[in-house]
Amino acid sequence: MHAAEQVEAKRNAGYRAAEEVRDGMVVGLGTGSTVFFAMERLGERIIREGLCVAGVPTSYQAAIRARRYGIPLTSLDEHPELDIAIDGADQVDPALRLIKGRGAALLREKCVCDAARSVFIVVDPSKMVDTLNAPVPVEVLPFAVEAVSRRLAALGADPVLREGVKKDGPVVTDNGNFIIDCDFKAIAEPGRLEAEIASIPGALECGLFCGYMEKITVIVGEEKGCRIVSLH
Ligand SMILES: O=C[C@H](O)[C@H](O)[C@H](O)COP(=O)(O)O
């Protein structure tokens, strides 16, 4: 798929997800280039249909974009249960397990995914894989970065501290933490790996999302239209 076709696929997925939002809903707003299109369409619907919604942003990026599109913002504290969340992913496998976190927003994204009754994951076809094999981002407490790196290496990763672009030194997340990218190659048991990473003190969250397949619907944008994948 060429770059222009990929943009169209993302647009189709995002626009389709925005149609799932109903009047009065509280919506988790994910981070990244595909959710961008969902927010754009949601903003249009707010103006065109007078839709009354509120969004819980998962990052500064999501908050800034939501404001730009006129989506009123609220917080997870105000709404610990969300009607719906719309988010992107880096990889999706046939069991609808995900790798997320290319944009370093995985910690808040997992909180929002957990809080939402239903989750719409918007992707282009390149994200659909048979076996998860992308590097898994892990958000790490800076105090424990070396200790956590050793533990991740012992699990078979090749841990790399994520460096900033247009910023010297490590990426600092919206929560003030670091990101370690862990290449495990093909991941045979993603759920088990997620649990093992979760057991490391100082590893605050990882980009594996394996426990949400029941409420996830994946919208795979194509060059024309989209394909819906769900297990329910
Ligand atoms: O931290 C970033 C998020 O997990 C994104 O949702 C994910 O990386 C997908 O982003 P994009 O839609 O730009 O490919």
pTM to 2 decimal places: 0.97
Residue 94 Cα to ligand 1 midpoint, Å, equals 19
Asked if residue 221 lies in contact with residue 3, where contact means CB atoms within 8 angstroms, the answer is: no
Q: Which domains does the chain have, with CATH numbers?
A: 3-127+211-230 (3.40.50.1360), 136-206 (3.30.70.260)
Atom 7 in ligand 1: residue holding the nearest Cα: 89
ipTM here:
0.98
| Amino acid 1: pLDDT | 82
Note if 109 is an active site residue: yes
Q: What is the mean pLDDT of residues 169-179?
A: 98
| Amino acid 80: pLDDT | 98
Distance set, CA 69 to CA 26, 109, 170 (Å):
16, 20, 31
Cβ neighbours of 131 (radius 10 Å): 12
Atom 8 in ligand 1: residue holding the nearest Cα: 102
Whole-number Å distance between alpha carbons of 208 and 196 = 11
Q: Is the pLDDT of residue 102 over 90?
A: yes
What's the token pair of residue 194? 């997620």
Q: What is the mean pLDDT of residues 103-119?
A: 98
Q: Is the pLDDT of residue 199 over 90?
A: yes
Largest CA distance in the chain: 54
What's the token pair of residue 76? 């997870």
- pLDDT > 70 in the chain, percent: 100
Q: Could you tell me the pLDDT band of residue 220, with boundaries at 50, 70 and 90?
A: very high
Residue from 8, 109, 194, 205 carrying the catalytic annotation? 109
Q: What is the mean pLDDT of residues 187-207?
A: 98
pLDDT tens for 15-31 read 999 999 999 999 999 99
Asked if residue 229 lies in contact with residue 218, where contact means CB atoms within 8 angstroms, the answer is: yes
Residue 180 Cα to ligand 1 midpoint, Å, equals 16
Whole-number Å distance between alpha carbons of 17 and 35 = 9
Q: What is the mean pLDDT of residues 186-200?
A: 98
Which of 100, 110, 173, 205 is the best mutation target for the ligand 1 pocket, counting ligand atoms within 8 Å of the beta carbon and taking the most? Answer: 100
Q: What angle do CA 86, 90, 95 make, to 5 degrees?
A: 80
* Amino acid, single-letter form, for residue 78: E
pLDDT tens for 22-71 read 999 999 999 999 999 999 999 999 999 999 999 999 999 999 999 999 99
Computed over every residue of the chain, the mean pLDDT equals 97
Nearest by Cα to 77 from 115, 105, 22, 42: 115
Whole-number Å distance between alpha carbons of 103 and 207 = 11
Strand 208-209 and strand 178-182: the pairing is: unpaired
Q: Could you tell me the pLDDT band of residue 232, with boundaries at 50, 70 and 90?
A: confident
Q: Is the pLDDT of residue 157 over 90?
A: yes
